[in-house]
Chain A
């Protein structure tokens, strides 16, 4: 089945953006699927390493399941590893998911995720800031990560090495003033330095005990509703 791609300005989907959000927002978003997922509902992004550990994949799956059970939309980047685990768990548990691509919508990276991308385009939502024909470049992925921070109300980094692309998303979430959580396990990993730095700038540790707080911090209404309200 041929899929149709549409394009919108970010504010047409999300509602009006503030000056901080406008700074790194793409001019256009190309979308395939159910755009209501960006207009309504609470969204949490789950991201992390492509070459993830078994425990990391399990944690991503568990978190995605818990979120969709609370009607939260799971946002991720369709990459191998943590991203794939998050998308698949959201769908397996009858939830909704958004894939934010580092490629144009007519391309897939990694190629083996083509069936997953097709399913998301048909039944959920895929988003890209890159027009059809745009060459795939390394710099596209950090740009994609910043866009994902914009589209999600909160971000969770499950597992990542120093220098990982997921860190771009973490820093952007902090810049936007959105809650950023780091899985407790990654903060205890002596092989990585970045969690300590991110915690010093306001990231929070996500544990089994405080997962409700992640949910409590999600906005309750839509941005459009807020911006129209007369005080």
Chain B
């Protein structure tokens, strides 16, 4: 049985920081050396500092609706199952910092990865795991609560397949809840250089013509 009926065709997403995969300006290089590597490896205290900055500039950023004391945060699972509970889980680390500063009520780690998907960075465009592959690799634990609002939280958004798949699972289980998706960092691979690292945005991720799109 496939789950294609449950995969949403479009979601709203938000992101806070930006990184350039290949740019050569100082800002682009810093976005890789500091932001990409720091968030990916949870280098102390990059995530905490990013979340504190988010709190500082939240008003007027467009991201206000993603956070607050009424929002349940769902960390997006890593691309492979965790073998032990004390493994690094960047999405959960970001959630912890968000809750600490009052940008979330609590963490609901209800979404899990049942099996590994190939790392997007390893795959050539066109053969990267599509949203359906991500969707089929995830499962959601049943939860007894009916939250008013949920925000899925991931470390990075590249094409958006993971966020679309995770949001689909959560929205399916909480049909009456407003569900949003947030990534601390968005990859900006289609422009040669980025001008700033702190670059909050709200946009959409959608499937059209069998392909996934993200804007911005």
Contacts and interface: CB of A to CB of B under 8 A. Distances in A.
Interface stretch (B3-11, B46-54, B143-151, B205-213): B46-54
B190 interface: no
Interface stretch (B30-38, B66-74, B103-111, B167-175): B30-38
Contact of B42 (A18, A171, A200, A225): A18
Contact of A177 (B81, B88, B118, B197): B88
Interface stretch (A59-67, A103-111, A125-133, A212-220): A212-220
Interface string B7-34: 0000000000100000000000110111
B211 to A, nearest CB: 23
A200 B81 contact: yes
Contact count band on A? 20 to 34
B43 A223 contact: yes
Contacts of B86: 20, 23, 175
A149 B32 CA distance: 22
Contacts of A230: 49
A201 B83 contact: yes
Contacts of A227: 38, 43-46
Contact count band on B? 35 or more
Contacts, number: 96
A135 interface: no
Given A174-B87, A200-B81, A204-B122, A16 B37 contact: no
Contacts of B197: 231
A91 interface: no
B128 interface: no
Contacts of A201: 80-83, 116
A220 B29 contact: yes
Contact of A225 (B34, B80, B84): B34
A16 B122 contact: no
Interface in A180-231: 199-202, 204, 210, 213, 216-217, 219-221, 223, 225-227, 229-231
A176 interface: yes
Contact of A16 (B43, B49, B50, B81): B43
Interface of B: 17, 29-30, 32-35, 37-38, 40-46, 49-50, 53, 78-84, 86-88, 90, 115-116, 118-119, 121-122, 197-198
Given A220-B33, A227-B44, 5 more contacts: A199-B116, A201-B82, A213-B122, A221-B34, A223-B41
Interface of A: 15-18, 20, 23, 171, 174-178, 199-202, 204, 210, 213, 216-217, 219-221, 223, 225-227, 229-231
23 contacts: A16-B44, A18-B44, A174-B87, A175-B86, A176-B87, A177-B78, A177-B88, A199-B116, A200-B80, A202-B81, A204-B118, A213-B122, A219-B37, A219-B41, A220-B29, A220-B32, A220-B33, A221-B33, A223-B41, A226-B33, A226-B38, A227-B44, A229-B34
